Amino acid sequence: MKITTAEFVKSAFAPEHWTTDGLPEIAFLGRSNVGKSSLLNSLLQRKGLARTSNTPGRTQSLNFFLINRKLYFVDLPGYGYAKVSKSMRGDWGKMAESYLARRDELALSIQLVDSRHPPTTLDIQLHEWLTHHDKPSLIVATKADKLSSNELKKNLENIGKVFINREVISYSSVTGRGRDEVWQAITAAIEN
Ligand code: GTP
Ligand code: MG
């Protein structure tokens, strides 16, 4: 898709702040620091549109970005960051789950896992939740540039053993690897 406009619209801390114009939405999900905001910027080729950081837990709200006045990207907070308080962790679950469960506009959930590591328990739980609730999803393995091609191949095989019968797209927001495949999935999802 050719990106003509990409703009930050709002940060939502509660359902009443979600957008109301009914456009389809693509959600970015995954543990803290996995590269959600970087993937979003890389897909849009807009550096710094979504804030990225070395400090895990940076994104604390649902952040809506309007693309080509036609769809939204929704950057969700990361899960599994141990240093946020217990009540914050509870809030993540509630905020994300109510969004994922209730949002009719949600056309595709892009679930990110780190290509360098086996999926975590929370990654697997999220995947099972999405599958159980018939939510269309796409698995993207991030930070592929940090591995040699042999290591990447081996790790993708192992990730594939966890998410059975699912395509896993490897991605690098540094090189843009995987960009076309992810866009294809997004385009197919919003046309449905
Ligand atoms: P939270 O908002 O805290 O949940 O994090 P996030 O998932 O949005 O991660 P973010 O995009 O902020 O990236 C975290 C760190 O990983 C940053 O330092 C990024 O520069 C780095 N990073 C993300 N994707 C890639 C990638 O594909 N390759 C490399 N080398 N670094 C990456
Ligand atoms: Mg982020």
Query: What pTM was estimated for this model as a whole?
Result: 0.94
Which residue's CA is minimally distant from atom 5 of ligand 1?
A: 33
Of all ligands present, the nearest one to the C-alpha of 57 is 1
Sign, CA torsion 43/168/31/73: positive
What residues flank ion ligand 2 with Cβ within 5 A? Answer: 36-37, 59
Name the DSSP class of 109.
Answer: E
3-state secondary structure of 188: helix
Q: Is the CATH number 3.40.50.2030 carried by domain 6-191?
A: no
- pLDDT number for residue 90: 60
Name residues of the chain where pLDDT drops below 70: 56-59, 81-93
Per-residue pLDDT of 43-58, as tens digits, reads 999 999 988 877 766 5
Question: What are the residue ranges spanned by the domains of the chain?
Answer: 6-191
Of the residues 38, 42, 73, which should be mutated to test ligand 1's pocket, given the most ligand atoms within 8 Å of the CB? 38
